Structure 1
Amino acid sequence: MQNLSNVIAGKKGLIVGIANDNSIAYGCAEVLKQCGAEFAVTYLNEKAERFVRPLAESLGAGIIMPMDVEVPGQLEAVFAEIEKKWGKLDFVIHSIAFCPMDDLHGRVTDCSAEGFGQAMRVSCYSLIEMARLAEPLMTDGGTIVTMTYYGADKVVENYNVMGPVKAALESTVRYLAAELGRKRIRVNAVSPGPLRTRAASGIAHFDRLIEDAIAKTPEHKLVDIEDVGMTTAFLISDAGRALTGETVYVDRGFHHMV
């Protein structure tokens, strides 16, 4: 942690996706706070605010604002506040995804156009929007990190339509990395193993997926949000300066096992 602190202290960023203290984004925020980074935190709506704001305040977030990527103007307002307060941005952590429950629990074959479109809008296109708004603020270069999952590459039972959506997200990471590289902006995806987050609880038979991961990983252990936070901090730090356009697995070797 001390070595990471040497190259992260003072960096300023945006963390999107904290819902509670089990969120991947919260794990990232905790590690980055320990490393001396400053960051803005967003919450989805008024209902979410009562859970997120106390966490954001305990993390010392310099900006706490609502942001629903489906509400026009909210995303732009957050970046405008960042520009006003800091005048620059060093990193963005994009850790949001959504799919209507009926479409998530059904076959890809039966997915509605509306459900597929909303899943892509929230889970993938929002990364493009954040990259576009971050670009002019990353005057000294920067890092954008999003969260994906193994189901983007392999068929995972019950992951359903989120598999194609996350595959699109990973492809988007590669294209953004290629386009923004000349400005020294790196874009990567982190792919954690199964985690007991609120978002994951919407996947049917998630407990079975957890049991399978424990059985197959070489150490027979799950990752936790701190593991993901440490990897994300590495990617944000100058120590990760040679990595861009990558999908970095943080799953204790699960994706290697058959």
Structure 2
Amino acid sequence: MTDAALADPGLSVLGTALKGKRALVLGIANADSIAYGCARIFRRLGAELAVTYLNEKARPHVEPLAHDLGAAIVAPCDVSRPGELEAVFARIAQEWGGLDIALHSIAFAPKADLQGRLVDSSPEGFAVAMDVSCHSFIRMARLAEPLMGGGGTLVAMSYHGADKVVPNYNLMGPVKAALESAVRYLAFELGPKDIRVHAVSPGPLKTRAASGLKDFDVLLAEATQRAPIGELVDIDDVGLTTAFLATPFARRLTGMTVYVDGGLSIMA
């Protein structure tokens, strides 16, 4: 989606619905990342941003994007390294004093476990995938809770393979199913504090993370043919839906898995 498209009437409906809001975005790796699409829309709608990068290797790819977005906070965050996620939230608490939106767009599994059969997955690989892709979202929610005194929105990124069998999605299917279940339980537990929790489930997208899946190009081609809309979604489509969930327009929605896939998930 071009900058011109970002000014279309569809986006103008939301206007400046996130003006004055503070949003943390975890998971930007490059300009093709889903997290970057979400950050772009958050910023376009008036939110102030905190952005993380995985490590020093990723930093040169993320910092220029964060600069273009005018991110107020840019920090390293590898959720598998003790203390790094906590350090991000400590900085947010110090510099902002509060938080309104937190987006978790992180997933990882060792290549051997990701590309092999689920039945052959190693205990170690399964544990790593669950920790990075699911439990880190729970940890994020725990850290965000005290900063969302006036309510807020937590969003995790999922995929249709959590609900139905998608060939070659393998280990990540059960892991994403656990993530979607965690979203529902967190929505129940945090609802009394007006903290709403959602999973967003995009259709197949050409991202670096997705490229690790076996025969992903075949999956993309089939998705284009089968989706009722007849075309793939892009990262800004995902960003628009994610931003909507964080606005007052969605104030009575929580605990949902929202599909952004051109209708692909309704097909048999």
- The equivalent residue for 1:96 is 106
- The equivalent residue for 2:217 is 207
Of 21, 26, 30, the match for 1:16: 26
**Is 1:62 aligned with 2:75?**
no
Task: For residue 66 of structure 1, report the CA deviation from its aligned partner.
Answer: 0.3
Describe the SS at the equivalent of 1:47.
Answer: coil
Task: For residue 2 of structure 1, report the CA deviation from its aligned partner.
Answer: 2.9
Q: Report the identity percentage.
A: 62
Give the paired residue count. 258
Over 6 Å off, 4+ runs: none
For 2:240 and 2:247, how far apart are their aligned partners in 1?
A: 10
- The equivalent residue for 2:148 is 138
State the one-letter code of the partner of 1:190: V
- The equivalent residue for 1:52 is 62
- The equivalent residue for 1:160 is 170
- The equivalent residue for 1:181 is 191
State the one-letter code of the partner of 2:160: Y
Task: For residue 219 of structure 1, report the CA deviation from its aligned partner.
Answer: 2.1
**Is 1:194 aligned with 2:204?**
yes
Of 119, 129, 132, the match for 2:129: 119
Describe the SS at the equivalent of 2:254.
Answer: coil
Cα deviation 1:122-156 (Å, max 9, x = unaligned): 00000000000000000100000010000000000
Cα deviation 1:58-109 (Å, max 9, x = unaligned): 1111000000011111111100100111100000000000000000010000
Task: For residue 5 of structure 1, report the CA deviation from its aligned partner.
Answer: 3.1
Whether contact under 8 Å (2:29, 2:53) holds in the other structure is yes
State the one-letter code of the partner of 2:83: G
Structure 2: unaligned runs, 5 residues or longer = 1-10
For 2:76 and 2:265, how far apart are their aligned partners in 1?
A: 35
For 2:38 and 2:14, how far apart are their aligned partners in 1?
A: 13
Task: For residue 3 of structure 1, report the CA deviation from its aligned partner.
Answer: 3.4
Cα deviation 1:28-59 (Å, max 9, x = unaligned): 01111110100100000000001001111111
For 1:90 and 1:238, how far apart are their aligned partners in 2?
A: 12
Cα deviation 1:141-187 (Å, max 9, x = unaligned): 00000100000000000000000000000000000000000000000
- The equivalent residue for 2:15 is 5
Describe the SS at the equivalent of 2:164.
Answer: coil
Task: For residue 7 of structure 1, report the CA deviation from its aligned partner.
Answer: 2.2
State the one-letter code of the partner of 1:224: D
For 1:65 and 1:219, how far apart are their aligned partners in 2?
A: 38
Q: What is the TM-score with the length of structure 1 in the denominator? A: 0.99
For 2:229 and 2:198, how far apart are their aligned partners in 1?
A: 26
State the one-letter code of the partner of 2:238: V
Describe the SS at the equivalent of 1:8.
Answer: coil
Describe the SS at the equivalent of 1:160.
Answer: coil
**Is 1:234 aligned with 2:248?**
no
Task: For residue 10 of structure 1, report the CA deviation from its aligned partner.
Answer: 1.0
Whether contact under 8 Å (2:51, 2:71) holds in the other structure is yes
For 2:82 and 2:155, how far apart are their aligned partners in 1?
A: 23
For 1:2 and 1:202, how far apart are their aligned partners in 2?
A: 36
Of 238, 259, 267, the match for 1:257: 267
For 1:226 and 1:59, how far apart are their aligned partners in 2?
A: 14
CA-based RMSD of the aligned residues comes to 0.7
